[in-house]
Amino acid sequence: MFVKNILDAVSPEDKALTSSILKIEKWSGMDITYERVNAGFTNFNYLIHIDKIDLTCFAKVVGPGSEAFIDREVAHEAAVAAHNSGVGPAILAYVKEDNFEVYEYLLGYKCFTISDMINPELAAKVMSCYSKIHCSLPLSKSNSWSDQITELHQKIITENADISPDLKYLMWQFKRAKKAIEPHGNNLVPCYNDGYVTNYMKNEKNEVRIIDWEYGANNDPYWDIATYFFESFADAKTREKLLKHYNSSSGELESARVDVFIPLICLKWGLWASLQSSISKIEFDYLKYADILFMRAKHLIDQEPWEKALSNFY
């Protein structure tokens, strides 16, 4: 492991890693080796090792075209806020002009599996993590759930990306949800806005950390909660219990908000995958992923709970 020296980088992304690391003054002149981490849908990820100080870190080179999804300045703010809240890893180095961040390596931690996501103890700890970040000071930018969907929809039209034949119907349902919910107000707080299973990490003590805050922005906090339920396929009983853990005073309106958000999260990430299929150079079948998400969105919207949840807002 760590047999590649940054000065011997060959590929464009490896050279970008080298260029950014050489700008970090505190590590100037030190031998630094690296290995590529084959994970992630947006960036090029690495483990790097600084031999002189025996330090292993995690670093990422931003993926081409990712500016279509990510505001890197507010993402950095969110990562700092997550660490300050005790939720995310520390940032050890930051090269602003390259949007390059180096994080502490969470020694002893490993990524969640779906089994971990449905583990009551771990799920409750994730809810506690969200409670902490949602109570932190506002970030400099908001990106509400409705803005996320609207912006992605506009971009896939501009890019002439492949879309689902159900998209017109799904966007009509989105507009219904927006019309129903927005009069009740949006409490915009610092949010994660992601929630992919491997972004949650645990150690042997079942301590939990959340990594990769690139989509961080102010949003409705229940979008984060709904995203966790979307990713873990949580049933109604589990959702109710975790909602109470997150907010002991949550009631029908909060539950309905989450029930409406889950299909819209499918829609949002389906739009994201459609756009990625047109711009990303990372090897992943984004179109297949989009198809699965659009189908899931339509299935959930066509069920009785969707209409029942919407009716709570009228």
Detail the DSSP E strand segments found in 41-90: 44-50, 55-61
d(CA 128, CA 132): 6
Number of Cα atoms under 13 Å in the Cβ half of residue 239: 25
d(CA 270, CA 276): 10
Is residue 61 within 8 Å of 13, Cβ to Cβ? yes
pLDDT (mean) for 168-191: 94
pLDDT (mean) for 26-46: 89
pTM score: 0.93
d(CA 128, CA 149): 27
Residue 15, pLDDT score: 96
- With a cut of 80, say whether residue 1 has pLDDT above it: no
CATH of domain 110-311: 3.90.1200.10
CATH of 4-104, one of 3.30.1330.60, 3.50.50.60, 3.30.200.20, 3.20.20.70: 3.30.200.20
Domain ranges of the chain: 4-104, 110-311
Residue 88, pLDDT score: 97
Confidence of residue 280 (pLDDT cuts 50, 70, 90): confident
- Torsion of the alpha carbons at 287, 292, 293 and 299, rounded to the nearest 10: 150
d(CA 30, CA 53): 9
pLDDT of 75-120, one tens digit each? Answer: 999 999 999 999 999 999 999 999 999 999 999 999 999 999 999 9
Residue 43, pLDDT score: 87
Is residue 280 within 8 Å of 291, Cβ to Cβ? no
Residue 176, pLDDT score: 97
Would you say the CATH fold of 110-311 matches that of 4-104? no
- With a cut of 70, say whether residue 2 has pLDDT above it: no
Percent of the chain scored above 90 by pLDDT?
87
Question: What kind and span of H or E run contains 22?
Answer: none
d(CA 37, CA 47): 7
